[in-house]
Structure 1
Amino acid sequence: MRPVIVVSQLRKTYGTGETAVHALRGVDLTVWPGEYVAIMGASGSGKSTLLNMLGCLDVPTSGKCLLDGFGVGRLNERQLALLRNRKIGFVFQSFNLVPRVSALANVELPLVYSGLRRAARRRRALAALDLVGLSDRARHLPNELSGGQGQRVAVARALVTGPAMLLADEPTGNLDRASTEDVRP
Structure 2
Amino acid sequence: MSRKRFLLSLCLVIVLMLLQKPIPVAACSCAMIPSPAEGFSNAQAVFSGEVIDIKENSGYGKTVLFAVKETWKGTNETKVAIKTGYREMDCGIEFVVGQEYLIYANLSDMYEEQSLTTTICSPTKELGVATKDLAVFGPGQAPKDDVISLDSGTTTYLIIGGVVFIAGLFAIFGWMRFKKAES
Structure richer in helix, relative to its length: 1
| TM norm structure 2 | 0.20
- The alignment's TM-score, normalised by the length of structure 1, stands at 0.20
User: Which has the larger Rg?
Assistant: 2
Higher-strand-fraction structure: 2
